[in-house]
Amino acid sequence: MVLKIFFPQCCNRADSGLLVGRWIDGHDSAVVLAVVHYPFIPGQVKLYIQQMQAQSGVELTVLGSWSLPKDGQEGMESFLRDLSTIFPQERWLQISRETGKTGFSCDILDQNGVALQKVKKKEKSDGEEEADDEEEEEKVIFVHYEQRKVMLSQLHPVENGVPDSETAPPSELRQMFRTVARSQPLFFLDRYDDGPLKSTHWQSEGREGSIIVELLKQATVPLCLLVGWLLSLWTWFCNVRVFSLLPFRFLSSKLSSCVQLSYRTEHVRTLSSSRPAAGHTEFMRKANIVVSLLVDVALGLLLISWLYRDNHITMVANTLVPAADRVAKELEDLLQWLMGAPAGLKMNRALDQVLGRFFLYHIHLWISYIHLMSPFVERILWYGGLSACLGLTFALSLLSDMVALLTFHIYCFYVYGARLYCLKIYGLSSLWRLFRGKKWNVLRQRVDSCSYDLDQLFIGTLLFTVLLFLLPTTALYYLVFTLLRLVVVLVQGVVHLTVDFINSFPLFAVCLRICRPYRLAEGVKFRVLCEEPGTALHLLMEMNPLKCNTVVHTYRMPTYSCYPKDSWMGLVKKLFVGELVYPWRHKNTKTD
Amino acid sequence: MGDDAFTDINGKSISLDCQSHSSLCREFIVSSPKVSIGKVMVYTCCVWLVAYAVFFFTENTAVLSSAILITLVGMMLHIHFVKVDHESLLVVGSLGIQLSSSYASGRETTTFIERSKIKDIVINEAIYMHQIIYYLCVLLKEPSEPNAVSSVVPLFQSSKPRLNCLEKVYRSCQEVLSKC
């Protein structure tokens, strides 16, 4: 078997001492965590290891001895061998390094202090002899790792909680990562401590920490309480009986600003819980929420500072009403054109006139509504603009709602046109079946043949002809208003996608990936360090950072998705048949 | 150790560099030839001639500058994402296998497969366009069933060496893997 020793880089130049670490079961590998220096009292070392084991839950043991002889220290060989009898172990590693050389040499002793193998040959022997020896020997691989990075990094894919007994036990690397991450208490002992023991690890020069982080940690507790209290107030207000009545519920499910508000409320509720985040996934989720909330509010404040400077609001309000007027005027022109002979098509004159007048009257109603509203538009915009301090997403949702309300007439036209067209298509299709002597069997969901009377056939054929000749007129109106409607839906869709993007983009994870690539590790990569002939193999283990698209995919926050429900073909089919197309997704429809 | 010349499936010459760091660890580096200057010239000339022809009819100088931009950006994207300079395979007995490919711009992508997940390394046949080629691949174990193969990771994907080269790599790999 080959023995793998994971050795921290920070201990390369440590003074001689004992190696503290853990054997990984079933993989024949050892993780060295720290070096405890001479002089020490063995009883104290045992006590210290027991304490650490209780605190961290890692099976810590003394793995062996480490020696880096300095000037004047000779004849350690026998002393090191005696140490193995003080700390009885199944296997005792005796790693030593000589001052002039880069490589380590390692002896493995069994319980009785007999050398199981000797990797480094100190005797000067012929090359052939050495080669012969090597083939019979067991081998040692040193894997050097950077303790800080390994401790802080998270191996992906993330596994949460206790692994099931059914699946295979976690792999060697995962166990090694977990060991280093959990033995954090071991790294608190630094050189400035006055205790009886001195040790070397990545924090032995002094503990790493940031005063800002500690202050923020202190500040979050009252902040969470305050936010929680405000949240309970808001929840109480939302639960007032009036809001659970049917029209309010219907409105709030259709208005995107209301949906966005409830979404953000859910976020704040997640944040304000006093329980600290349990696992890595939950922590990342919370951090992502905080960062996206902050960015959102910052963007909103930027928008506010632009809107309320130099009276931009008045400018917008002054352009809005004439714009609506112009749209209405254009629509009127369009209707007039349709009522004539559009593109040289000869329409059914009577139906054309009826439909045209009907829509003209609608536009007239709409214009008077707009003019009634015009004095209040500026004030509405002023107060609506204030909502941007809740975040840019909220302002955008409000914009989407306003677009929906201002283009309500287009929606109405579309619905009338679609219903009329749909009716005709259905009538035509059923009459076409009658024409062929068939009918739709509802019970069996199929087309059956059927014998009709002569009268039925006559009336049916007559109606079919009438509908067929009237179809182009209806279809033309339907086509024009559908195109108008699609433009509005497109605008709303773009706004919704922007909101969705801001809501769900895992900004914190991406920043972490860019600034601290080792924190999110996909795996590891190895590099062969310079080797000297005769010593064991030395490998350097580095973090392999997660790919950016994987980061986005893994940490993307779930949203009330407003992507179109249908595929493109489905959409076209729906438009052709004349079913209504909505920008929002119906809640009751299941999507995968 | 040695640096041998082989050919890939298209007949271009590639070189295989075997480094034996110890009896437990071997590294194989397959380097493909560099981008030939003639090819670059041909592509650049094509783009520029087309741009000049368009410029001749439209008399818009933006066409020419955009052609220069397209050539530069295209070259950068090519060396950063497409052109693989060399691929290496690091086999460490009892630890695992590491595959890495480094692109002409210096970008490196690395994946490491642990020994416990590896079932075997084999040479496989595949139909590629209108020919049958051999490739080296790593078989991964199914975690629940030790005898089943869950997936296959092909090696040396961009420089596709011929069978004689693959056999050499295969023999050394098996030698290292069988030791532990």
User: How high is the pLDDT of residue A267?
Assistant: 87
Instruction: Determine the distance from the C-alpha atom of residue A417 to the mean position of all C-alpha atoms in its chain, rounded to a whole number.
Output: 42
Residues of chain A with CATH 3.40.140: 2-117+138-162+169-204
Pick the residue from chain B with its C-alpha nearest to A168.
Answer: B143
Look at B111 and A537 and tell me if their CB atoms are within 8 Å: no
If you count them, how many residues does chain A have?
592
Distance from CA of B101 to the nearest CA of A (A): 12
Indicate whether A106 pLDDT > 50.
yes
What is the structure's pLDDT at A121?
Answer: 40
The verdict on a CB contact (< 8 Å) between B92 and A539 is: yes
Q: How many CB atoms lie within 10 A of CB A347?
A: 21
Residues A425 and A475: their CA atoms lie apart, in Å, by: 10
Q: pTM for the full model?
A: 0.80
**Nearest residue to A317 (alpha-carbon basis) of A307, A328, A303, A330:** A307
pLDDT digits (tens, 9 = 90+) for A59-97: 888 888 888 877 656 666 677 777 777 787 778 888 888
Whether a cis peptide bond, with omega within 30° of 0, leads into A533 is: no
What distance in Å separates the CA atoms of residue A589 and residue B2, rounded to the nearest whole number? Answer: 64
CATH topology of domain A2-117+138-162+169-204: Cytidine Deaminase; domain 2 (3.40.140)
Tokens of A455: 């009268």
Q: What is the pLDDT of residue B137?
A: 93
Nearest to B100 by CA among B21, B141, B155: B155
Chain B residue closest in CA terms to A1: B180
User: Tell me, what's the pLDDT at A119?
Assistant: 45
Q: What is the mean pLDDT of residues B121-128?
A: 92
Nearest Cα residue in chain B from A544: B110
**pLDDT tens profile A190-211:** 777 777 888 888 887 777 788 9
CA distance A356 to A367: 17
Q: CA nearest A10: which of A280, A196, A208?
A: A208
User: Does A528 contact B117 at a Cβ distance shorter than 8 Å?
Assistant: no
* Cα nearest neighbour of B25 on chain A: A537
β-strand pairing of A520-528 with A537-545: antiparallel
Cβ A537–B24 below 8 Å, yes or no?
A: yes
Which residues does chain A have within 8 Å of residue B22's beta carbon, measured at their own beta carbons?
139, 531, 536-537
Residue A526 to residue B112, Cβ atoms within 8 A: yes
Over residues A452-476, the pLDDT tens digits come to 888 988 998 899 999 998 888 888 8
Q: Which two tokens stand for residue A145?
A: 């790792």
Report how far residue A356's alpha carbon sits from residue A340's, in angstroms, rounded to the nearest whole number. Answer: 10
- Residue A131 reports pLDDT greater than 50: no
Calpha distance A432→A460 (Å, rounded)? 9
What does the angle CA A280 – CA A282 – CA A284 come to, to the nearest 5 degrees? 70
Torsions phi, psi of A237, nearest 5?
Answer: -65, -40
Query: Do the Cβ atoms of B23 and A139 come within 8 Å?
Result: yes
* Spatial contact of B96 and B114, defined as CB atoms under 8 Å apart: yes
Contacts of residue A141 in chain B, CB cutoff 8 Å?
Answer: 24-25, 92, 94-95
Residues of A in contact with B111 (CB under 8 A): 523, 544
Type of residue found at B100: S
Q: In the predicted model, what is the mean pLDDT of residues A33-41?
A: 85
- Nearest CA to A282 out of A461, A195, A160, A386 is that of A160
Classify A64 as helix, strand or coil.
strand
Largest CA distance in chain A: 123
Cα dihedral across residues A533, A534, A537, A540: positive or negative? negative
> Dihedrals φ, ψ of B99, to 5°?
-105, 135
CA proximity to A152, closest of A189, A203, A216: A203
Using DSSP bridges, classify how beta strands A446-449 and A438-441 pair: parallel, antiparallel or unpaired: antiparallel
**Has residue A123 got a pLDDT over 50?**
no
Is B21 close to A27, i.e. CB distance below 8 A? no
For chains A and B, CB pairs below 8 A equal: 64
Return the axis-axis angle of helices A280-307 and A507-515, rounded to nearest 10°: 110
Asked if residue B49 has pLDDT above 90, the reply is yes
* Contact predicate A404/A260, CB 8 Å: no
